[in-house]
Amino acid sequence: MIRRILFFLLLIISTQLFSQRTTSSPYSIFGVGEEFGSSTVEQIGMGRIGAAYSSNRYLNFINPAAHADLRFTTYSFGALNNRLQVKDVDTNQSNKTTTLSYVALGFPIGKKAGVVFGMQPTSAIGYSFINNVLDSSGDIIDLTQFEGSGSLNRVYGGFGIILFKGFSVGFEADFLFGNMENSLLNARQNVALATKNNEDSDIRGGSLKIGAQYKKTLKNELQLNLGASLTLSNTLKATGTENLYSLALGAVGDEVPRDTIFSGTLRGNFERPLETVVGIGIGKENKWFAEVDYKFQSALVPTGFLDNSAQSLRYGNSSRLSIGGFYIPKINSISSYWERVTYRAGMRVEKTGLLANGNPNGNTFTEVNDFGISFGLGLPIGKRTPSTLNFTFEYGKKGTTDNGLLQENYLNLRLSLSLNDIWFRKRTID
């Protein structure tokens, strides 16, 4: 009962917590911000694998077909502490944020099906940087400040079912919602007033994901897993307002608005093509597992005011190769706690699909790539159920200092609590 109360309390407050999520990544200027992807803390600890992976007690955010293997009611929520260093060829600065990552509930339906419901953020905007133009004496003659904030969240439900021995299918539907605000301020030498363009918009949309998994037992108790999931193409719609006005800048940077130059309605779309994830894995049940995943998606297409290509930004095809797995020395050990711990590790190489030109006098666009390695622990906390407290450490590098761009070095500490229980259990009397 305490676990149920705790879960529903988290569900009530999660909307407010998600709305407060922030990022300090300069690359969140793209589209609807820095996208986080759908992975549990446990999956991130294994390099974000999940197309072929399934568990009777852990949730899988990548492939809904895995819901069919749930045998416990599972309450799961995760949190993130992000330490980010952003640098160019000359300088660097650091920042850190702590946020709630997701809250979800999954439970089995009979012995061949399962459902999952949850909420989680999908992207965040949180950039602020200045571009200066200098004269021959090194004095600033033109200053442009870019700022943005906001987030995009989703609520979703998924269902998975075993059609026949070793083969399961599933689907997931979600609704996405959020708000974003972007502004551009420009001030020039010998011009009394600066100008500022501010865009404030609400985002709405939805998507549908389908998946399938196949398992086959080989010799020596080995199990081969195959899996694939498809997120069908979908559109995010944004509506909002734009205001362009003049202002005076105070001595400490405070803004004093003057005259409104333009005020109007904005509309834009964010077309997201089909996303495909395929994976193959092999392992022994409750002992070890290793998997290789590959994700691919064609270039995103922004239209309307979301098309920020004029700011030297473009979109290309994105892909990710993930390798990872887990190892449990002895899951039912009674002599050593550490033999019952789940040890996870993984790595990923990713093309984010973002291209940027950091040279205002050139037209060379550079891919923004991401590389990460991760390690994790699943610490047992239950005596009658396999509940775990999970930690994942992720270190990575995103972007480059070439072509006038910025490089991000990040260290993520992730924490999740996976609480397992059995609902609808028929009580017996001895």
Tell me the per-residue pLDDT of 129-157, one tens digit each, with 9 for 90 and over.
777 777 777 777 888 888 888 889 999 99
Domain residue ranges in the chain: 2-421
Q: What is the rounded average pLDDT for all residues in the chain?
A: 86
Residue 94, pLDDT > 70, answer: yes
- Average pLDDT rounded to a whole number, residues 290-310: 84
Angle (nearest 5°) at CA 277 between 276 and 282: 155
| High-pLDDT (> 70) share of the chain, % | 90
Q: Are 49 and 55 in contact (CB under 8 A)?
A: no
Among 296, 329, 295, smallest CA distance to 47 is for 295
Residue 232, pLDDT > 80, answer: yes
Instruction: Report the run of H or E that residue 163 belongs to, with start and end.
Output: strand 140-164
- Average pLDDT rounded to a whole number, residues 364-378: 93
Residue 118, pLDDT > 50, answer: yes
- Average pLDDT rounded to a whole number, residues 153-180: 95
State phi, psi for 29 to the nearest 5 degrees: -70, -20
Pick the most confident of 80-94, 233-247, 348-362: 233-247
Least confident of 14-18, 31-35, 283-287, 389-393: 14-18
Residue 79, pLDDT > 50, answer: yes
**275 Cβ contact partners less than 8 Å away, ≥ 6 residues apart:** 230, 231, 295, 296, 297
Over residues 332-344, the pLDDT tens digits come to 888 899 999 999 9
Least confident of 46-55, 66-75, 120-129: 120-129
Angle (nearest 5°) at CA 40 between 121 and 82: 65
Largest pairwise CA distance in the chain: 92
Q: How confident is the model at residue 430 (pLDDT cuts 50, 70, 90)?
A: very low
Residue 100, pLDDT > 90, answer: no
Residue 18, pLDDT > 70, answer: no
Q: How confident is the model at residue 5 (pLDDT cuts 50, 70, 90)?
A: very low
Please tell me the predicted confidence (pLDDT) of residue 361.
Answer: 65
Q: Are 398 and 378 in contact (CB under 8 A)?
A: no
Please tell me the predicted confidence (pLDDT) of residue 425.
Answer: 53
Instruction: Report the run of H or E that residue 199 belongs to, with start and end.
Output: strand 194-217
CB atoms < 10 A from the CB of 92, how many?
Answer: 13
Distance CA 322, CA 326 (A): 14
Higher pLDDT, 228 or 138: 228
Residue 187, pLDDT > 90, answer: no
Model pTM score: 0.88
Residue 2, pLDDT > 50, answer: no
Among 388, 385, 309, 392, smallest CA distance to 341 is for 388
Distance CA 115, CA 64 (A): 9
Q: How confident is the model at residue 23 (pLDDT cuts 50, 70, 90)?
A: low
Residue 371, pLDDT > 90, answer: yes
| High-pLDDT (> 90) share of the chain, % | 51
CA 272 → CA 42, 79, 302, distances in Å? 27, 27, 9
Please tell me the predicted confidence (pLDDT) of residue 247.
Answer: 84
Helix (H, G, I), strand (E, B) or coil at 242: strand
Please tell me the predicted confidence (pLDDT) of residue 215.
Answer: 96
Distance CA 252, CA 285 (A): 62
Q: How confident is the model at residue 192 (pLDDT cuts 50, 70, 90)?
A: confident
CA 228 → CA 62, 128, 216, 276, distances in Å? 9, 38, 15, 7
What is the end-to-end Cα distance of the chain in Å, rounded?
Answer: 24
Residue 24, pLDDT > 80, answer: no
Tokens encoding 126: 């949180």
Q: Are 124 and 150 in contact (CB under 8 A)?
A: yes
User: For the domain with range 2-421, which CATH number is right: 2.40.160.60, 3.60.20.10, 3.30.70.1350, 2.60.120.10?
Assistant: 2.40.160.60
Least confident of 229-233, 250-254, 345-349: 250-254
Residue 385, pLDDT > 80, answer: no
Among 418, 420, 422, smallest CA distance to 45 is for 418
Please tell me the predicted confidence (pLDDT) of residue 252.
Answer: 65
Q: How confident is the model at residue 162 (pLDDT cuts 50, 70, 90)?
A: very high
Distance CA 312, CA 146 (A): 13
Please tell me the predicted confidence (pLDDT) of residue 308.
Answer: 62
Residue 346, pLDDT > 70, answer: yes
Distance CA 217, CA 293 (A): 20
